[in-house]
Amino acid sequence: MKNTQSFLLMLLIFLAVGGVNAVLGLLVLSYALISKFWFVILYIPSLVLLGVLFSRIKFPNTIYRMGGWSLVVGFLGLLGIVFYSIFIENIDEKVLYIFVSIATTGMIITYPFLQTEK
């Protein structure tokens, strides 16, 4: 009887936490849909999904080399944009987001390749 009650209490706690998380998730989604930064907010789950994909699947070395080049190009583009916007004039944020996405895609691709198996 005591095990059943503790199990039901634990289930109730999980349902309460899950319900709160679902409501907060819907609020964030609704804010993302009406906000002008919806592409930035929806970009985060896509990065998580890409990271899970590249950590679970073994790809050929060519893909990992392309990820390394993507990382280099993304960081060089970010440096160029930062210095250009500091010293010359401001640049549109979308160009900055493009190079950030290139760099993060390179990080996601090359991270599992750099991990050593024990």
> Which 8-state DSSP code applies to residue 60?
-
Burial 60-84 (b: 16+ CB within 10 A, else e): eeeebeebeebbeebbebbeebeee
Q: How many domains does the chain have?
A: 2
d(CA 29, CA 36): 13
Domain residues for 20? 1-38
25 and 63 in a single domain? The answer is no
51 and 31 in a single domain? The answer is no
101 and 51 in a single domain? The answer is yes
28 and 79 in a single domain? The answer is no
- Three-class secondary structure of residue 6 per DSSP: helix
30 and 56 in a single domain? The answer is no
Give pLDDT tens digits along the chain (118 positions): 667 777 677 666 666 655 556 556 666 666 656 666 656 666 667 666 766 666 666 767 777 777 777 777 777 777 777 777 777 777 776 677 777 777 777 777 776 666 555 4
34 and 46 in a single domain? The answer is no
pLDDT digits (tens, 9 = 90+) for 28-38: 666 656 666 65
55 and 105 in a single domain? The answer is yes
